[in-house]
Amino acid sequence: MTTTDTTRGARFRIGPNVYPVATVDRLTLRDLLLLERQTEEFGKPMTWSEMQGIIRTVQEALVEAKTEREVVELDDFPWFLGILVWTARRDAGEQITFGDAVDFPMGEFEFIRPVDPRKARPVKKRPRKGSGRADARAKAAAVQAAKSSTVKTSEPPSSDD
């Protein structure tokens, strides 16, 4: 099951560390077998089908729920969060057990929502040098100054008689 569409650009923070959300498709077969064995210690061996079911349940709730609280209160949400954290940390190259990956104070966990490019603030672009109204005014002032600084004589050139 690919979760790429719902996780593209999503990240989360645990304390000072920021992780991009990784999909379970990035896990190796070894990782999946380790996960099943390591989650057995927590009373729920996480088989592939069990993991798929939890991910599907939370993804459906994310679409249908009216509030985030409805999703967070799902019975499977802590397991979903554990899978999410462990998968991201393994994908980041950390050789960490499931138990160690999820051993952090919940107050240090924060989802970082991806920025919607359609709602992102536009970057103000500066005009190129030599273009725009300010440059036109500067050029006009320079021309005016040049005209007023030239010496004008009203006498015709003298001729030697």
* Residue 123 resides in a domain: no
Token output for 57: 């349940």
pLDDT computed for residue 4 by the predictor: 38
* Residue 29 resides in a domain: yes
Q: Which domain holds residue 97?
A: 4-112
pLDDT computed for residue 27 by the predictor: 87
Count of the separate structural domains present in the chain: 1
Write down the H helix ranges in the chain.
4-7, 29-40, 48-64, 68-72, 77-91, 98-101, 133-149
pLDDT computed for residue 5 by the predictor: 42
* Residue 138 resides in a domain: no
Task: Name the residue among 50, 46, 42, 71 with its Cα closest to residue 59.
Answer: 71
Residue 71 to residue 73: CA distance in whole angstroms: 5
* Residue 78 resides in a domain: yes
pLDDT computed for residue 81 by the predictor: 93
* Residue 132 resides in a domain: no
Contact 126, 110 (CB under 8 A): no
Block mean pLDDT (10 aa), the chain, length 161: 52 92 87 92 90 92 88 92 93 92 92 72 63 69 69 55 52
Residue 10 to residue 50: CA distance in whole angstroms: 23
pLDDT computed for residue 95 by the predictor: 92
Contact 17, 31 (CB under 8 A): no
* Residue 15 resides in a domain: yes
Token output for 27: 């896990």
* Residue 42 resides in a domain: yes
User: pTM of the predicted model, to two decimals?
Assistant: 0.64
pLDDT computed for residue 116 by the predictor: 67
As to burial, measured by CB atoms within 10 angstroms (0-12 exposed, 13-18 middle, 19+ buried), residue 85 is buried
| φ/ψ of residue 38, rounded to 5 | -75, -30
pLDDT computed for residue 54 by the predictor: 93
* Residue 56 resides in a domain: yes
